[in-house]
């Protein structure tokens, strides 16, 4: 009999997002609080063996999909060996990695050799000056080369995540959509999450993901709905007629898809976060490091899952810390 990890509202939790580092080689305006970041000390970051132990517990309770995030996960030393161990774990059906793409080109072949099959690349503009304004860095060419390299070594699919920023990247929407016509790319347009105790003065709000659909219909072509895959996240998928790739929208702010949320998050500093936009975190690291038994850890995970709320408010609180720690 298959094991199902259910929360208090009978949602099946199948997906764990794992941040392995708070470090990043970009400084995106929507990810970092205006006051800057206080990085976590080395000792406070979960060790790889600790991460694998926690993942094994989730696996035993029914989780089948893992996504590795950061910060930027490719900057952490030893990531290839860690991924190879994770991919080899019995019972885990889907391992993906989200990267900003800067280091992807030189690492793509080794990542594939480690057993990784899926990769998401965060890219909010293909215009050089806009990319620099958003990321604080002139590394667009490296990111585009990373996407090409990922396709060349056989990652399938390669997903491109575009955070929607009012007044910044509306004019990029049509160009991103056209990428899917002749390439097996999944381009997903994502409403920007609020974070930090105060709005960042340089960080624009999101525009609606549904506005994306109107832009594409007006400037590129008609879209048809595409069925979701069993382990898909919250994206609603579409495709242009005759296109090789797909287009998705992820609308956590306007769409309120909380009722079907199937995920938990493990932060870089060893806490479980039941809801991205909720304040609650459960410390698993200190319990693990004091030598807790497997049964104790299992009960802690179950308790964390049962604390998962039914949803966030119509105007969710801003996140209490940067996405580099939480992992998105």
Measured in degrees and rounded to the nearest 5, phi and psi for residue 4 equal -125, 125
Residue 225: closest CA among 197, 258, 249 = 249
62, 36 contact by CB (below 8 A): no
Q: Name the one residue in this structure whose structure tokens are 């007044």.
A: 167
Is 273 annotated as belonging to a binding site? no
Is 267 annotated as belonging to a binding site? no
Tokens of 220: 């590129």
Is 263 annotated as belonging to a binding site? yes
Is 17 annotated as belonging to a binding site? yes
Is 193 annotated as belonging to a binding site? yes
Is 318 annotated as belonging to a binding site? no
Is 62 annotated as belonging to a binding site? no
Is 89 annotated as belonging to a binding site? no
d(CA 80, CA 83): 5
Residue 265: closest CA among 308, 295, 236 = 308
Is 294 annotated as belonging to a binding site? no
d(CA 72, CA 172): 23
Is 261 annotated as belonging to a binding site? yes
Is 180 annotated as belonging to a binding site? no
Q: Which ranges of 220-321 would DSSP assign to H, the alpha helix? A: 285-289, 294-306
- Cis link prior to 157 (omega < 30° from 0)? yes
Is 290 annotated as belonging to a binding site? no
Measured in degrees and rounded to the nearest 5, phi and psi for residue 207 equal -100, 160
Is 126 annotated as belonging to a binding site? no
Is 47 annotated as belonging to a binding site? no
HSE, CB side, 13 Å, CA atoms: give it for residue 162. 31
Q: Helices 294-306 & 48-60, crossing angle to 10 degrees?
A: 70
Is 264 annotated as belonging to a binding site? yes
Binding site as annotated, residues for [4Fe-4S] cluster: 24, 28, 31, 258, 261, 275
Binding site as annotated, residues for S-adenosyl-L-methionine: 30, 71, 122, 193
Binding site as annotated, residues for GTP: 17, 67, 98, 159, 263-265
Binding site as annotated, residues: 17, 24, 28, 30-31, 67, 71, 98, 122, 159, 193, 258, 261, 263-265, 275
């Amino acid at each position: 009999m298959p094991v199902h990890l259910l929360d208090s509202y009978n949602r099946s939790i199948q997906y764990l997002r794992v941040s392995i580092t708070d470090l990043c080689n970009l400084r995106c305006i929507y990810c970092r609080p205006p006051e800057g970041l206080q990085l976590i000390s080395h000792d406070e970051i979960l060790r790889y063996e600790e991460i694998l132990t926690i993942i094994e517990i989730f696996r035993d309770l029914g989780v089948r999909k893992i996504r590795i995030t950061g910060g930027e996960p490719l900057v952490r030393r030893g990531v290839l060996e860690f991924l190879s161990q994770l991919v080899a774990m019995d019972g885990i059906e889907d391992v993906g990695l989200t990267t900003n793409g800067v280091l992807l080109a030189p690492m793509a072949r080794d990542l594939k050799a480690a057993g990784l099959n899926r990769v998401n690349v965060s890219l909010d503009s293909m215009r050089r000056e806009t990319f620099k304004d958003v990321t604080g860095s002139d590394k667009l060419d490296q990111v585009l080369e990373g996407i090409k390299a990922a396709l060349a070594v056989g990652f399938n699919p390669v997903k491109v995540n575009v955070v929607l920023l009012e007044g910044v990247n509306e004019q990029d929407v049509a160009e991103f959509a056209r990428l899917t016509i002749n390439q097996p790319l999944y381009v997903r347009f994502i409403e920007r999450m609020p974070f930090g105790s105060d709005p960042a003065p340089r960080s624009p709000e999101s525009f609606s993901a549904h506005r994306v659909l109107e832009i594409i219909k007006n400037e590129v072509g008609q879209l048809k709905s595409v069925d979701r895959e069993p382990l898909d996240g919250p994206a609603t998928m579409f495709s242009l007629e005759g296109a090789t790739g797909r287009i998705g929208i992820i609308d956590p702010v306007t769409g309120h898809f909380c009722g079907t949320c199937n995920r938990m998050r493990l932060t870089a500093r060893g806490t479980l976060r039941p809801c991205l936009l909720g304040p609650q975190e459960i410390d698993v690291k200190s319990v693990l490091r004091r030598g807790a038994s497997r049964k104790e850890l299992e009960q802690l995970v179950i308790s964390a899952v049962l604390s998962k709320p039914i949803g966030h408010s119509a105007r969710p609180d801003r996140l209490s810390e940067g996405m580099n720690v939480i992992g998105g």
